[in-house]
Structures are given as structure tokens and as C-alpha cells.
Amino acid sequence: MFRTHTCGELRLSDAGKEVTLAGWVQRIRDKGSLVWIDLRDRYGITQLFLQEGTGDPKLMEQARSFGREFVIQVKGTVIERESKNPNMPTGEIELRVSHFTLLNVSKTPPFTIEDMSDGGDDLRMKYRYLDLRRNPVRSNIELRHRMAMLVRNYMSDHDFLEIETPMLIKSTPEGARDFVVPSRMNPGEFYALPQSPQQYKQLLMVAGMDRYFQIVRCFRDEDLRADRQPEFTQIDCEMSFVEQDDVLDMFEGLTKHLFKEVKGLSFDNFPRMTWHDAMKYYGSDKPDIRFGMKFVELNEVAQGKGFGLFDNAELVVGICAEGCSEYTRKQLDALTEFVKRPQVGAGGMVYIKYNSDGTFKSSVDKFFSPDDLKRMAEKFNAKPGDLMLILCGEAMKTRKQLNELRLEMGNQLGLRKPDEYAPLWVIDFPLLEWDEETQRFYAMHHPFTAPNPEDEALIDDPSKWGDIRANAYDIVMNGVEVGGGSIRIHNRDLQNKMFHALGFTDEKAQEQFGFLMGAFEYGAPPHAGLAFGFDRLCSLFGGCETIRDFIAFPKNNSGRDVMSGSPSPIAQEQLDELQITLNVKS
């Protein structure tokens, strides 16, 4: 037997046993006549012990010749430790070594392979296979595996079939940019890598599969923002003969199941909030409802007092930070600077302090009497000791700016606790979104999303397109969108109208989506679905900010795999075979 136990397995009850372990040398402590070695594998660390004058004298010499990350096999006797380590599962025992076999040597690793590594991000990514040996990274990958298994079992228990869909598909310009793959057999033609299996999963419903899911890789050639990966994983699902509630219940069930199994947490029914309310009260379609600080609109009480900025604004809106009236000049200036950063883009910020003695102090005292300020404070339901922060301007822009300020205050006040979870459904998204630049409507979710039945007639009136609500929903957690989906259009007529609203001619729609539309003429059932971002879900459950930490081999922020060095140029012969001529402008 190569090994009788793993390095995480032995306990005091094993004392006296003769065992064989194998693993990596994490650390050697040499105290002259005594030597200890920490031997590590995926399951843990076991301390090896050698003492001069006992056993084979060559052992000591051998032990001293090992370096960090050498791979060894070791035989020995389990003994009780003199100084126990309660922080380690194997901390009560050590192994008195009787035999070593060196299995492989290692160069000195470029960073320490311990929980707190001294390696910077770039270095750890370049040697990701070494980074993966570290506990925190490995445990993230283990969590991911566990979640994948839980998802698979849950879905299968609810009659979903896992069905693979193609990776080489037809390119469609709607949505994000496609990654494309040239076809050698069809020169000048390209496949696209799927941004999601959307059309295939709908075809599977036409095919009568009834319930489909897949844990599937998706690809989007987007400009990389922080924490985006060009390839990422979805839990992709589709169901037939369902209404919105059926879908929300099913996936709320899955989410609760994950919480219960992974975190031991139980939840009441997830709250549901319309997109309209999410924007009005939080300035975001993915509000973090772990804390309050809901927006309060102040036009009624703030306008008409001669303060031009307020008077000319479409919206005056603010938040109330409880117990912050003691904020210093410096802190308030920093908040003003925060909202003025180009990423937030506000012109400035007004504050009102409701002092604990009941008086007011504001940055607009010139324009507002104490009574005026009191009226505003009442709108906020503010108490003495609170601080009100107010922005103004064009409604939607101002709400988004205030969202940033609210989240910042949430951070500053420690209200966004990583071990607290606040899931929520956001429903009734707009169906279509106007784009100023291209002067056309885009599908907010995707072109197959059905309108809310109450708004369906509006699709015949172009002036109302912006008002149509979609039968679409997102699942949001702690300010992060973890999934989204919609009821689909299964009626050819309505789909044609939708394409029309999106500015597609009949020919263009036919060319791009003809195969799906054609299928819909053969008895498409009513159907709906949803996809979770699996990487993000894992990172939330892992209490970590970045999805990269939950992907074994992620790309860096420029979309590069620094370990393998991709993307990279290809050989001229490969290009010739593909009949591709490069015209790279550098």
C-alpha cells in the first residue's frame, strides 16, 4: 500500500499503530538532536518526529536533506505528542519515523505554501498549481465541488435532466461580444463559443425534455471589469408548463437547500421587490438589504426655499445614517470627495446633522431655517444623533450615485457583514431599454423574454415600449446579482413583434434566430428558466469577494492566463490552414 492513511486522518486513538503516509514537506524544524517535519497532503498536516540516538542514524541525515515541497513517503509509529496543538485535527499525535522514501525533489517554491502566503497575486497566479496547495485556496475548490454536487442532486431529485449543449455554436450579435473560433473545414466561417445555452435550452423545451439543467461554461468577450472572467460557469435551467411563481419557488428551494447544507442556515421566504421599487428606494437593481438606509425623496420639502441646486433638480433624495451626527468636517469632506469621484459622478453632497441636543447643523443653513430642516428630518424619520446625506439632479443618475454613497456608508458602519445573507427576488424588470448612443431599444434581459401579460398590448405602441414590464426576475444576495431569468415568449407572433421593437428586419431575425423561430412553429410549450452565476454563488457562500478564488485556473484582470501564457500568437501554418490573414494594429 502506498499509504495507509492521509495526513489529516490520525488521532490519539491511533497511537501505537504502524502507518505509512505520503505528502509534501511543508516545514522542517531542526533543533539539533530533534527534528520535526510537517507533512502535508490535501487532507491535512501530520507532524513527523525524529530523535538522534534512536532508530536508524541515516534517518536524521535524510530528513536534513529534504527541502520545502519535497515529496516523500514515510513509515513510522503513531505516538502521543508531548506538546499538543489544539488548533490542528492531528495535533495530539506525531509520527515517530522509521523509514523515509524520497519520491521527488522540488525547487524552492517562489512563495511560501502556507495559509498566509508571502506571494503576491501575480506570482501566485503564475504558479497556480502551487497556490492550489494552500489550505484557503484548496478549501474554496472543495466548497465549489460540494456545491456542484448539491445542485446536481437537488435538480435530479426534482426531475431535471442534465443535458450538454454544444460549445461551438452560431454567433449572434445580440448581448455581449462573442468569442469566435475559425472553422478550417469552412474557410471564412466561424463558430462562436456560447454566452449561455439560452437558445438550446429553449429548443430542449420544444423537444419535450420538460426540465433541463446544466452546470456549464459560458464565454463573454466583454471589457474586463473587476471580478469578471471571460469564461465563467452557470447553473443553467429551463422548465416547461410553469408560471413565474413555479420558477421562483423551485430556485428559492435550491438556494435554501444550499444554505442549509453548506452553512446550516434557514430562511423564511425570500422577499420580492419590483425593479421600480429597487430603483426608487435603493438606486440599484441589486440592492443590498442587509441594512436599511432606504432612500427618502425630498422634493416636496427641499424645493422652493431658494437653494438653486435643489430647486432645479428633477430629484432631491437622501439617506439617513443613524448615530452619525458626530461626523467630523474631515469625514464629511471625504464623503463629498467620494461622491465626486468620476466613478460616482455627483456634483456634490448636502449634509444635515441632527445633533443630540435637538439642534440642526447643515451645509445649507443659509437657505433652510431650523424648521425647514426639521421638516426634512421628519421625512427621514430621523432622531437626534443622526446624519442625513442628500444628493440632487437627474432622477435616475442621482439614485445611482446615492446607491454608491449608501453602500459606502454601509461599509464604513460595518453593516455589510460577510457572514450575514440577505437574499431577495427583484421582479418586473423593464422589457426594453433605450440606448442613446445607437438610438434603439435593447432587450434588458434577452430577446426571448416575455412581457408581463398585463403590458403585452403595449408592444403595439412604440411610444410605450419603454414602459413594458418584463416577466423577468433576478435573484440578488448582499448587493450581488447571483442569477436571473424570465418567462419566455413561445408565440411566434409576439416574438416577431419583439424583434421588430429591437429593430430587426424580418430577414435579419430569420437569419439570426430562424432555427429557434422555426422550432416554435412545431408546438413550443410555455416555458421559463433561469441561470445562476455559479462562480459568484460559490464566492458568496465562501464569504469571499472575488470569484477568481473559486476557479481553479482563472484568468487575470486583462483576461490572460499568466501560467500558460494565453492568449498567444499561433503558427503561420495554422493561420494558413484557416486561410486567415492577420492585420494586427499594435
Q: Considering the rule CB under 6 A, would residue 484 count as an interface residue with ligand ASP?
A: yes
| Residue 484 beta carbon to ligand ASP: minimum distance, rounded to whole angstroms | 5
Residue 380: its H or E element = helix 370-380
Q: Which is nearer to ligand ASP, 233 or 325 (CB)?
A: 233
Q: Is 401 in the site for ligand ASP (CB under 6 A)?
A: no
**529 in contact with ligand ASP (CB under 6 A):** yes
Of 147, 405, 530, 540, the one binding ligand ASP (CB under 6 A) is: 530
For position 165 contacting ligand ASP by CB under 6 A, the verdict is no
Residue 207 grid cell: 423537444
**Using rule CB under 6 A, residue 531 touches ligand ASP:** yes
- Residue 229 beta carbon to ligand ASP: minimum distance, rounded to whole angstroms: 14
Q: For ligand ASP, which is the closer residue by CB, 486 or 495?
A: 486
Residues 182-211 that bind ligand ASP (CB under 6 A): 196, 198
Complex with ligand ASP: residue 315 or 531, whichever CB lies closer: 531
The x, y and z cell numbers of residue 387, run together, are: 446624519
Q: Which three cell numbers stand for residue 304?
A: 422652493
CB 76 within 8 A of CB 48: yes
Q: Which is nearer to ligand ASP, 422 or 531 (CB)?
A: 531
Minimum separation from the CB atom of position 197 to ligand ASP (A): 7
Q: In the complex, what is the shortest distance from the CB of residue 222 to ligand ASP, in angstroms, rounded to a whole number? A: 13
Of the listed pieces 177-185, 372-380, 525-533, 554-562, which binds ligand ASP according to CB under 6 A? 525-533
Q: Tell me which stretch binds ligand ASP (CB under 6 A): 27-35, 264-272, 435-443, 526-534.
A: 526-534
- Of 38-46, 48-56, 333-341, 482-490, the segment contacting ligand ASP by CB under 6 A is 482-490
Q: How far is the CB of 541 from ligand ASP (least distance, A)?
A: 20
> Judged by CB under 6 A, which stretch of 60-68, 384-392, 507-515, 527-535 contacts ligand ASP?
527-535
> What is the smallest separation between the CB atom of 460 and ligand ASP, expressed in angstroms?
25
Over the Cα atoms of the chain, what is R_g?
30
Query: Applying CB under 6 A, does 485 fall inside the site for ligand ASP?
Result: yes
d(CA 297, CA 390): 9
Rounded distance between C-alpha atoms, residue 552 and residue 76, angstroms: 34
Q: Are 354 and 383 in contact (CB under 8 A)?
A: yes
In single-letter form, the type of residue at position 557 comes to: N
Strands 387-393 and 423-427: unpaired
Binding to ligand ASP by CB under 6 A, coded x per residue (else -) over 354-393, reads ----------------------------------------
Burial label for 472, CB within 10 Å (0-12, 13-18, 19+), is buried
DSSP conformation letters of 474-534: EEEETTEEEEEEEEBP--HHHHHHHHHHTT--HHHHHHHHHHHHHHHTTTPPPEEEEEEEH
When the beta carbons of 407 and 450 are compared against ligand ASP, the nearer one is: 450
Q: How far is the CB of 83 from ligand ASP (least distance, A)?
A: 55
Contacts for 376 with CB less than 8 Å, ≥ 6 apart: 298, 301, 302, 352, 368, 388
Q: Which is nearer to ligand ASP, 287 or 484 (CB)?
A: 484
DSSP per residue over 334-370, as a string?
A: HHHHHHHSTTT--S--EEEEE-TTS-EEETTTTT--H
140 or 196, CB closer to ligand ASP? 196
- The CA distance from 495 to 501, in Å, is 10
Q: Do the Cβ atoms of 530 and 254 come closer than 8 Å?
A: no
b/e code 188-197 from CB counts within 10 Å (16+ = b): eeebbbbbbb
Q: Which is nearer to ligand ASP, 151 or 335 (CB)?
A: 151
Nearest residue to the partner ligand ASP, using Cβ: 196
Q: Which residues pair with 430 in a beta bridge?
A: 469
User: Between 238 and 288, whose beta carbon lies closer to ligand ASP?
Assistant: 238
Judged by CB, which is closer to ligand ASP: 444, or 575?
Answer: 444
In angstroms, the first-to-last Cα distance of the chain is 57
Residues that bind ligand ASP (CB under 6 A): 196, 198, 484-486, 529-531
